[in-house]
A and B are shown apart, each in its own frame.
Chain A
Amino acid sequence: MARYQITADDVPFAREFMADPFGYRSPGLQRVLNVMRGLGPQGKYVILCTEPYRRWQLARLPARRGEAIEAVEGVNYDDLGTAERDVFLRRWRDLGGPELPLELLTMRR
């Protein structure tokens, strides 16, 4: 469905997101997020509640009903903001986004 392609023009929106993964968005960031969050269902990133409201694990949705959700081993989060930032960077890469400045990549955790 999504037509929009992430380019170097979107780097400021990555900066905006990494600074605050929740809240009001600039129209440019909203457009980037619409592309990222509309992906799936096959392989879509979701988070498993491993300890209610305390700990989450990255996982990916299967293609079809009835198939199991696949946990990504070793990728756990202690808060939702960290999960959002990590998945944003994964999707940025998956969607062919340009290299991001190191200071954004290190904001992951």
Chain B
Amino acid sequence: MLSLIAYTNTLSAAPGETIAVKVGSYGARTYRADLRRIIQGDRHPDAPGYKDEAIALDLGGERVARHQAIRAGSYVQIADRGNVLAELSSFTLAVPVLPTLIGDTERTIFHLTGIGLELLIDAEGRACAKLGDARLTLAAPLAVKQWILLILSFDKGELCLSALTRESEVIAAGKTSAALSRNAPVAVMIAARAPGENHFDGKIDSPVLFSRALEPLEAVARLALPQNLSRLPDLVVFWDFSRSIDGTEVIDASPHQLHGRTAQCPARAMTGWRWAGQCQDWRQIPELYSAIHFHADDMTDAEWQTDFEVTLPKSLKSGLYAIRLVPDGDEAQAYHCVFAVRPPRATASGNTVCFLLPTVSYLAYANHRLGLDVPGTEVGMGRLVEIDRHHAFLQEHPELGFSFYEVHGDGSGVFHSSRNRPVVDLQPGIKGFLGGLGSNVWQLTADTHITGWLEHQGVAYDVITDEDLHRDGLALLRQYNVVLTGTHPEYHSLQMLDALQGFVDRGGRLMYLGGNGFYWRISFSDAHPGVIECRRSEAGIRPWEPGQGQFHHAFTGEYGGLWRRNGRPSTELAGLIMSSQGFDLSEPYELGEAASDSRADFIFDGIDRTLGRKFGAFGLSGGGAAGMEIDRADFALGTPRNALILGSSKKHTDIYLMTPEDMLDPTPDMSGTQNDTIRADLVYFEKEGGGAVFSVGSIAWAGAMAWNKYENEVARMTWNVLRRFDKRN
């Protein structure tokens, strides 16, 4: 278990900039911090050895560790202004809801604090209203995943609650006597009683308040014509969730303008109670996307206090770093806050080699629970799930929030991931679930096989993050001859792809040293700093779908899903496309005729290129260079005609299956021992203008590079390519 966890305000900082560190104790009493440069993070006995480097920088002495809690759950908060809400003496609240989880606990839909008015679903799943000491509960429990219109009115000491179907059929109704009294400042909470308390799971569609008691059918008739609401003299507020969908604002469309804000990124651009398939893109008919889907376990900002700040020395070289926090003097229990020191912003570093740290893919997998939540993970691993102390901590602390691989408590997909919270699997030296027989490392730790090798070779290199690339674009890459990817750069924004494509189109050289790269689209948003959105529409290997009509991102309106379905297949950039995955064993490539092409001479310098020879039959990730997630060249899907296919893996275990996007018509021959599409291809191609691309199409490649302390033919080939790519013609 972890006795202390932490996060920083950024995953990338330039020399001279300041990083804020936020620490939470989960048992630790004290800690000391130091700055480390991370070199090689795999602790397997056959790996080249864990290696980092202390940076001489005083981060202060021993500090007291304090607990900082995490309050998961999204909501909307609105403050009263001009006593619009405080002076209500009679009212009707009309709100369509679609609960996705009921039972166990009370779940608040709407809470008017200071007046003590609350509309909720009780622990038995029944709609319930509270006003002061009065409590009114409807007889029949609500159904989940069905729209229901709740109409709550109060006038002259009588509180009435009705539940109606979308077709205006009254399911249940009741009334009780109650009194309205104000005892504190008035504010509104939607989808929670208070932050972290009695959160609602499900959709809420644009609540409306009127200043008099209405008959339920009249209120429903008004909800059906939202465009008429703002001119009704008895309208108090109309929180129109279909406006400002891409931001955190919640707009009151009434003349009072009691606007509010969302917190913890509930899902917006969600179909409302009047959506019936009229459109698929919220930008076409936004008024049908009038719902917000709230989750009791949404978590995009832990909102922790800063414990200390670190100003990076101006002379600090670019690289992969961590602020290491050692609790109670026990180095073995250290927590690492990993970040990149990017090159200085105003001047070029002089380095011509750049390692692109795939922080977006790290966030996509942040705090992932595949081996904990999904029984089938073991089937895909082909062996028992290993639990290290960070996994055990994750299991007990779901409030840390999820990755794109999880579903929420109500079974709906996780659309958002964030760096504004502790990400306990973004640390060197930890175990993965999917890393294959051997080291079983994934993402960051697997990527340190590459940084360790760069250090071993004595390469001077810069490290930049995906977020740097997204913000700065090609302007950031111009100074480099070569960009190296990590082992699993799976998720990309359009801006990131454009920058990389622009780089190779203008003479840049790309070494794609991973698998399943450039696969899913994500979006950033200035309204949600540090958060990314992903909607897994239609195809792709995916743990959930976004729901009908909800395939467009709320952040940008972009159509979510595979880049392959969005006109930007990875073949265009990298020459390869996702073919299969399996997390047990890896295989060698068998060398093809193109290995003997004179254009590939430099690649095979010092390497036997006999046709059919097995290349890379070793490694820390499954025992071969080709495995875990693998990509093939496919000329029909856009691999450049001039691409040389230097080698291909020729068989994989039957855990490797065809992807859903390839498996149009399933037949029982779509597994690794039977189907030729299930392979990793090793590809090289040149571009007009001097650009060139070397792609390995395998997550396991770097695990082979690190084999035998980087002394092997896979490392040698990688070196041959890097050396040549770094020379400008």
**How many residues on B have C-beta within 8 angstroms of the other chain's C-beta atoms?**
33
Collect the chain A residues with CB atoms within 8 Å of residue B395's CB: 61-62, 65-69
The contact of A56 among B374, B376, B386, B398, by CB within 8 Å, is: B386
Q: What chain B residues lie within 8 Å of A69 (beta carbons)?
A: 387, 392, 395
Closest Cβ of chain B: how far from A32's Cβ, in Å?
Answer: 12
Give which listed residue, B384, B389, B437, contacts A47 with CB less than 8 A: B384
B431 at the interface (CB under 8 A from A): yes
Please name all residues of chain B whose beta carbon is closer than 8 Å to the beta carbon of A23 when the two chains form the complex.
Answer: 585, 653
- Contact across chains for A84 and B653 when beta carbons are under 8 A apart: no
Q: Which residues of A contact B711 (CB under 8 A)?
A: none
Asked whether B373 is an interface residue with its Cβ less than 8 Å from the other chain, the reply is yes
Give bound CA distance, A33 to B437, whole Å: 17
How distant is the Cα of A9 from the Cα of B654 in the complex, in angstroms? Answer: 21
Let me know if B44 and A41 touch, CB within 8 A: no
B654 in contact with A25 (CB, 8 Å): yes
User: Once bound together, how far apart are the Cα atoms of A68 and B379, in whole Å?
Assistant: 23
For B653, the chain A residues whose CB sits under 8 A away are 23-25
In whole Å, how far is B579's beta carbon from the nearest beta carbon of chain A? 19
Give Cα distance in the complex from A24 to B584, angstroms.
10
In contact, A84 and B383 (Cβ under 8 angstroms): yes
CA distance A67 to B392 in the complex (A): 10
Asked, given contacts A25-B653, A25-B654, A67-B396, whether A38 binds B387 with beta carbons under 8 Å apart, the answer is no
Bound together, the chains give a CA A80 to CA B653 distance in angstroms of 19
Closest chain-B Cβ to A38's Cβ sits at a distance in Å of 5
User: Does B716 count as interface, using CB distance less than 8 angstroms?
Assistant: no
Q: CA A21 – CA B392 in complex, angstroms?
A: 25
Please tell me which one of the listed residues A30, A33, A46, A68 contacts residue B371 in the complex, with CB atoms under 8 A apart.
Answer: A46
Would you give the shortest CB distance from B373 to chain A, in whole angstroms? 7
Measured between beta carbons, the chain B residues less than 8 angstroms from A45 are: 384
Determine the chain B residues whose CB is within 8 A of the CB of A84 once the complex forms. Answer: 383-384
B386 touches which of A25, A34, A46, A87 (Cβ 8 Å): A46
Q: Is A22 an interface residue (CB 8 A)?
A: yes
Cβ contacts under 8 Å, A39 to chain B:
375
Scan B362-393; emit 1 where CB is below 8 A from any A CB, else 0: 00000001011111101100111111110010
Interface SS of B by simple majority: loop
- Determine if B386 and A22 form an interchain contact, defined as CB atoms under 8 angstroms apart: no
Most chain B CB neighbours (cut-off 10 Å) among A24, A34, A84:
A24
Chain B residue contacts of A22, Cβ below 8 A: 382-383, 437, 584-585
Which residues from 73 to 92 on chain A have a C-beta closer than 8 Å to any C-beta of chain B? 80, 83-84, 87
Among B374, B379, B387, B437, the residue within 8 A (CB) of A34 is B379
In this assembly, does A27 line the interface, its C-beta being within 8 Å of a C-beta of chain B? yes
Interface code A57-72, partner B: CB below 8 Å = 1, 0 otherwise? 0010110011111000
Which of chain A's residues have a CB closer than 8 A to the CB of B378? 37-38, 40, 44
B43 touches A52 (CB 8 A): yes
Contact residues in B for A34 (Cβ distance below 8 Å):
379
A38 touches B43 (CB 8 A): no
Q: Check B375 against A52 for contact (C-beta < 8 Å).
A: no
A83 with B654, Cβ < 8 A, contacts A65-B395, A68-B395, A69-B395 known: no
**Which residues of B sit under 8 angstroms from A52, Cβ to Cβ?**
43, 388, 431
Among candidates A37, A48, A65, A80, residue contacting B387 with C-beta atoms closer than 8 Å:
A48
Which chain B residues border A21 with CB–CB below 8 Å? 383
Q: In the docked arrangement, what's the CA distance between A80 and B431, Å?
A: 14
CA distance A69 to B385 in the complex (A): 12
A83 to B584 Cα, complex, angstroms: 16
A53 at the interface (CB under 8 A from B): yes
Chain B residues with CB below 8 A from A61, complex form: 372, 395
Instruction: Answer yes or no: B495 CB below 8 A from chain A CBs.
Output: no
| Complex: A67 Cα to B398 Cα, angstroms | 9
Q: How far is the CA of A78 from the CA of B215 in the complex (A)?
A: 72
Q: Distance in Å from the Cβ of A71 to the closest Cβ of chain B? A: 10
- Any chain A CB within 8 A of the CB of B45? yes
Q: CB within 8 Å of A: which of B399-425?
A: 409
Chain B residues lying within 8 Å of A53, measured Cβ to Cβ, are 43-45
On whether A38 and B392 interact (CB within 8 A), knowing A22-B584, A27-B654, A47-B387, the answer reads no
| 8 A Cβ contacts from B575-592 to A | 584-585
CB of A9, distance to nearest CB on chain B (Å): 19
In the assembled complex, A105 has its CB within 8 A of some CB on chain B: no
Q: List 16 A-B contacts (CB under 8 A).
A: A21-B383, A22-B383, A22-B437, A24-B585, A24-B653, A38-B375, A44-B385, A46-B385, A46-B387, A47-B386, A49-B388, A49-B389, A56-B386, A68-B392, A80-B383, A84-B383
* Given A62-B395, A69-B392, 14 new contacts (CB under 8 A): A22-B585, A25-B654, A27-B654, A34-B379, A37-B375, A38-B378, A46-B385, A52-B431, A59-B387, A65-B398, A65-B409, A66-B397, A80-B384, A87-B384
